[in-house]
Each structure stands twice: as C-alpha cells, then as structure tokens.
Amino acid sequence: MKKAINIIVIIFAIVFIFKTDSKASSGDPKEFINEVVTEAKSILSSNANQGEKSKKLGNLALENVDIKFLALYTIGPYRKTINEDQLKKYHTLFEQYFLKSFTSRLTEYSDPKIEMMGVEVKNEKYTIVQSKLLGTSEKPEVKIDWRVYTKNPEKLLIRDLIVEGLSLARTQKEEFVSVIDRNDGDINKLFERLEEFINKN
C-alpha cells in the first residue's frame, strides 16, 4: 500500500502540473493536453501562497480528471459487492486521498518542460496523447502517455497516465485490491489505509 501511494503521489503531481481547463481545446485531445502546460505553469509561478495554488489546482482536478471513474476502477471486482454506504464513504476518501497526493508534491515540478509527441486514437472513447517530460540535471527524462476519455468532445477527461510504460490506474488497482484480498474481502481495511494517509501530517 505504501508503495502504491508513493507512485501515485509522484505521478499525480505531474498530472496536475499539466492539467487545466479544456474549453479551448475544441475536443482535440492533443491540444487539450498541450494547453494545460502553459496554464498550470502560470498558477505555479504566480505569487500566490502554497495554499492558494493547491486550492486552484485542486479545483481543476475535480473538474477535469475523472475521479469517480478512477475510484470505481481501482477497487476492481469489489465495486460490484460494495454497499451504498460504503461506496459513498469510499468516494469521499478517494477524493481526499487523490487531492492530498498531488498537493504534497506540488513544488517539486514548479518549472516543467514537456514536449508533445504523437497521438494514437484507440476508439471513439479513448485517445492516447504521447509526450515526454524533459530531463534536467537533477531529474531524468520521463515518457508520459495520457489516456484521454473522448466520448464527449465538449468535456474531455483524463482517465489514466502511462508513465514509462507503467499505468497509474492499473498499478493503483492492483495495490488496492491486494489490500482487500489480504483482509478476506473487508474493504474497510482499505478505508483505514486511505484515512491513515489522509490524516498523516
């Protein structure tokens, strides 16, 4: 679980450095991702304090990343057995966990430089936008593929990142399901782990 959180913290920090409002993209996934760079960098380079920056990026996350989809996907088959009260609690915990993950690493990528590469249309619902985060003297170059949900061209959403071939959503799903499996299907044990992360100073 700790390993999964570390991976997710790092990768989602990258997501929100680049993510912004999709209105200007006109349904073009590549332009949608490309535009996020300039806008998000302007937030990070502003004179706002850390709390204000985190709040702005958090609002962007809630609006533009498909958090509800990710929440359900990452508990695998248990999404079919979870009851209504548990589901409501899980959505709340996952959202809090998600937001804390990227804000905790916000300043590490204050001046990102990303180069857009190709586009691969998978089907009418998904397009992969390929890019790379340019390396520095302190950080290596990172290949990032963005899985964009395109069914509604008026509201593009990010549903996954594949960083150096590693799917964030799949990795998180494997870790979360593993926690539940090890506890005889008790999803409350996953809730405890998420709460521990959320409440950690």
**Where residue 117 sits, what CATH number does that domain have?**
3.10.450.710
Instruction: Give residue 12's domain range.
Output: 2-199
Question: What's the total number of domains in the chain?
Answer: 1
> Which residue would you say has higher pLDDT here, 109 or 73?
73
Q: Is the pLDDT of residue 69 over 90?
A: yes
For the segment 2-7, the average pLDDT, to the nearest whole number, is 52
Cα–Cα distance, 110 to 54 (Å, whole number): 12
Residue 39 confidence (pLDDT): 67
Q: Where are the beta strands (DSSP E) in the chain?
A: 114-121, 126-133, 142-149, 157-163, 166-167
Interatomic CA distance for residues 104 and 188, integer angstroms = 25
Nearest-5° Cα angle at 139, 135 to 143: 50
Contacts of 51 (CB under 8 A, 6+ apart): none
CA-nearest of 6, 22, 112 to 65 is 22
Q: Note the pLDDT of residue 9.
A: 53
Tell me 79's DSSP state. G
pLDDT at 79 over 60: yes
The closest of 111, 106, 167 to 135, measured between CA atoms, is 111
CB burial of residue 173 (10 Å; 0-12, 13-18, 19+): middle
pLDDT score of 22: 43
Q: State percent of the chain over pLDDT 90.
A: 48
**What local confidence, expressed as pLDDT, does residue 11 receive?**
53
Q: Which of 6, 59, 62, 19 is nearest to 148 (CA)?
A: 19
Q: In Å, how far are 9, 108, 116, 132, 186 from 137, measured between CA atoms?
A: 22, 14, 21, 16, 45
